[in-house]
Homo-oligomer: A and B are copies of this chain.
Amino acid sequence: MNLFPDEGKRLLEALLLCSAEPLTLKVLTEITDYESSEILDLLSEIQRDYQQQSRGFALTEIAGGWMFATYPEHAPYIEKLVKPRLSSLSQAALEVLSIVAYRQPITRAEIEEIRGVSCDSSLGTLLDRALVEEKGRKDAPGRPILFGTTTDFLKYFGLSSLKDLPAFPSLPAGGEDDRSTDHTICS
């Protein structure tokens, strides 16, 4: 050992700060010039220091290692910090979502045919937000990707299944089977 005790605590603090994962005793003995027992002593000293000074975070033992962790009381603030704030869905994204919801599984080209405009960015948003997902490929030339709604979609709209989507009184009955093969929406 070639450092003063206080130096040891400082070094361990620095290492703990730079590690996104729990630091194991093994890694710490490899990196530093300390013995395991010394490291354990230093770690519990740091732990005690932080508690006594009522710092904003603590040194905790987790998953076979040590890491700095915050207190539950600060969770709501940390949530605001790390969670991206989502803007509301654009009209275009809502349109694409409604088409996918009622006509799934459906290909990108089929959505575009119904809307008459491209849907790349809206579909991207819906995929990112996990409202829509890929549901295999259509047995057609080019084997295009089929899209459908996710379980998250049901969850957020409070539906227990797709059958709970509001019905369309004006939509002609029948044609449920061939719906997936061609475009009978307005026939």
A-to-B contact residues, CB < 8 Å: 6, 9-19, 23, 27, 30-32, 53-57, 68, 70-71, 74, 77-78, 80-82
Contacts and interface: CB of A to CB of B under 8 A. Distances in A.
24 contacts: A9-B56, A10-B54, A10-B56, A10-B71, A10-B74, A11-B56, A11-B77, A13-B55, A13-B57, A14-B56, A14-B70, A14-B77, A14-B78, A15-B78, A15-B81, A17-B56, A17-B68, A18-B78, A18-B81, A27-B81, A31-B77, A31-B81, A32-B77, A53-B53
Given A80-B31, A81-B27, A81-B31, A57 B6 contact: no
Contacts of A55: 10, 13
Given A15-B78, A17-B68, A17-B70, 9 more contacts: A9-B56, A11-B74, A14-B57, A14-B71, A14-B74, A14-B77, A15-B74, A19-B81, A31-B81
A42 to B, nearest CB: 11
Nearest to A32: B77
Contacts of A82: 18-19
A11 B13 CA distance: 19
Nearest to A31: B80
Contacts of A27: 81
Contacts of A71: 10, 14
A68 B56 CA distance: 13
Q: Which 7 A-B pairs have CB atoms at the shortest separation, nearest pair first? A: A13-B56, A10-B56, A14-B74, A14-B56, A14-B70, A31-B80, A17-B57
